[in-house]
Structures are given as C-alpha cells and as structure tokens.
Chain A
Amino acid sequence: MDSGNFQVKNQYRSPVSRHFITQVKQNTYAREINTVIAPIVNFQADVAAINAGEAEYFIDNNGATNFRINNRIYGVHQDTYTLYPISGIGLYQLDRGAFKALGVYNKFGDTTETRKILDKMGASPEQRQAALIAWQTTQGE
C-alpha cells in the first residue's frame, strides 16, 4: 500500500450534503453503502487540514487515493476533488435500508409513525438500530 504525506496540488472540496446525517431525506438516493457524518464532526477542520497537506494519504486496495486525518478516512472524487467520508470517529456506514430508515427518522423522529413506515419498508431490526444510532447523534443539538 502506497502511503505517506503529500504535496497539495489541488483544492479539495467538502463532502456533498447527502453525507450529513441531518440532511438525509426519505427520498435521498440510497447506495449500497452510505457513509454519513455526525454533527459533532468538525469536517471543515478535516478539509482544511487536507488542503494544508497535514493529512496522511494512502492508496486503497482499489487504487483510489484516501486521506487519513483526525482518526477519519476520506476518499476523493478525483475529477472534482470532492471529498467523501469513508470511516472513522463520528462517521457511520449505513447499508441501503438503514440509510433509507435514517431519512424516515429525520422526518418523523423516533415515533410509532416511523416504526409503521419501517414495517412497510421491511426494514430489519439491524437496519433500524443502525439508523437510530446515527439519528440520535443529531438530538440535543
């Protein structure tokens, strides 16, 4: 695995809105795996550090460039230098059903209504729990 520090040649951009827990809606497109960012994460500081050349970079098993900063890993869409979260502290990987469930929690909260909707979606207990854990990071803001 190629890794190390790097010389900043490009201005990397913040992740797009679909990655922020509070911005996931029931109709947000659900990928097979979706990483979302909890409100406690100071992602602006991560982006600034990456742009300052302070992040460690490494090439993953698929040949893609990743950055490691503040115990979080980000990938980059090379053609627009847009970062996307992968894993680490304050980041949650949700499968398709859990991501969809998160959109429902965001709209209806932890309510009977949500549970009825998730029943109609056939969401598994594991998907509901994963979505609930992510959603709870947005409560008490």
Chain B
Amino acid sequence: MLWQEILIDRPLTSEAITLALSELFNLPANVIAVVEDITTSERDEHKQVSCEKQLIKGEFIEKISIYLLNANLADNMDLKDIEKLCRLLHCKCLVSDNSLNPFAMILVEESGKNQIIFLDVERLENEEYIIDRSLESKKLTLAI
C-alpha cells in the first residue's frame, strides 16, 4: 500500500532515506528499497518497504512515495511519524491534509510545529510545489 507521498525541501541520498525509514519502522535496512522509478524496478519479495524517490520542481525538490509491502507497518502511523521522519532527515516537508482541496497541505517541521498551508495554484499546474505566501496570514497553526 502507498502509505504517504512526502515533498521534501532538500536533496536526500538513498542511503539517508534508507536509514531514516529503517529507524522509523524499526526494520533492518536490508528490507528497505529506495528506487528512482517503481514501475521499472525489480521486484524483491524480501523487501518490506519500497520508497520511490523523484526530483520535483519548486521549493520542495524531492518527492518520496513510501509503499508498505507489509500492510501491518501502517498500523498506528500518523502525523507524528512524519515529524519523526523530518527529524531523522533534518528537513521540512509537505504532506496532504485530509481535505479534498487539492491546494491544502500540512507543512511539517522537525520542531513539530505544523501548519496548514496552500500551494500556489498556477505553479502547481506546472508541477511546481511553491507555498502561496500571499495567504500567510491565514495559516492555521495546529496543535498536534
């Protein structure tokens, strides 16, 4: 199952992602695969987590798609786990909120201070991920 798609504000090595996911899911590193393109990657029955890492445009420059091949790993996972991943990777990230508004995202920081933000509509249409800062004053600080 696709657990999360996470937009990251800095470049990450495959090794760093592997170590962070290993820590997050409490799994040995050798059951985690980090690939550039899951559609062309080789299937390995021993892997429990497959992470697709892709470059994207904008102020968030990498997208990681985390596929859990052992569905039990998703139990009790929530935003706190995204915060932990940010701490492990020393980054900020965006994840979708649970609304249907395609521009609403949650900005997650290492500190655990999370905010609802909105993406720039025009830039998103060009697949660029830029926070619409004209809406800065409307941000809602969440106590999560």
Establish whether residues A120 and B41, one from each chain, have CB atoms under 8 Å apart when the complex forms: yes
Known A-B contacts A80-B121, A104-B39, A117-B39; A122 and B71 likewise in contact (beta carbons under 8 Å): yes
Query: Interface on chain B toward A: helix, strand, loop, or mixed SS?
Result: mixed
What distance in Å separates the Cβ of A82 from its nearest Cβ neighbour in chain B?
Answer: 5
Whole-angstrom CA separation of A116 from B68 in the bound complex? 16
> A129 contacts the other chain (Cβ, under 8 Å)?
no
Q: Which residues of A contact B138 (CB under 8 A)?
A: 79
Establish whether residues B125 and A79, one from each chain, have CB atoms under 8 Å apart when the complex forms: no
Establish whether residues A122 and B63, one from each chain, have CB atoms under 8 Å apart when the complex forms: no
Closest to B33 in A: A120
Q: CB-CB contacts of A3-29 with B at 8 A, as 1s and 0s?
A: 000000000000011110000001101
Establish whether residues A122 and B68, one from each chain, have CB atoms under 8 Å apart when the complex forms: yes
Whole-angstrom CA separation of A19 from B125 in the bound complex? 11
> B28 contacts the other chain (Cβ, under 8 Å)?
no
Whole-angstrom CA separation of A8 from B63 in the bound complex? 39
Establish whether residues A17 and B2, one from each chain, have CB atoms under 8 Å apart when the complex forms: no
Binds B, one of A31-39, A41-49, A132-140: A31-39
> B11 contacts the other chain (Cβ, under 8 Å)?
no
Establish whether residues A84 and B102, one from each chain, have CB atoms under 8 Å apart when the complex forms: yes
> B14 contacts the other chain (Cβ, under 8 Å)?
no
Total count of chain B residues near the partner, CB < 8 A: 33
Known A-B contacts A26-B39, A29-B96, A31-B96; A79 and B1 likewise in contact (beta carbons under 8 Å): no
Taking CB atoms and an 8 Å cut-off, the chain B residues in 30-89 that contact chain A are 38-39, 41, 43, 50, 54, 63, 65, 67-69, 71
Establish whether residues B2 and A79, one from each chain, have CB atoms under 8 Å apart when the complex forms: no
Known A-B contacts A79-B132, A97-B2, A120-B50; A32 and B43 likewise in contact (beta carbons under 8 Å): no
A29 CB contact (under 8 Å) in B39, B63, B67, B101: B63
B1 CB contact (under 8 Å) in A16, A19, A27, A124: A124
What distance in Å separates the Cβ of A3 from its nearest Cβ neighbour in chain B?
Answer: 18
Closest to A26 in B: B39
Establish whether residues A121 and B5, one from each chain, have CB atoms under 8 Å apart when the complex forms: no
**Interface pairs (18), CB distance under 8 Å:** A26-B39, A27-B54, A29-B5, A30-B2, A32-B97, A32-B98, A33-B98, A75-B100, A77-B102, A79-B134, A84-B100, A86-B100, A97-B2, A104-B39, A116-B43, A120-B39, A121-B2, A121-B67
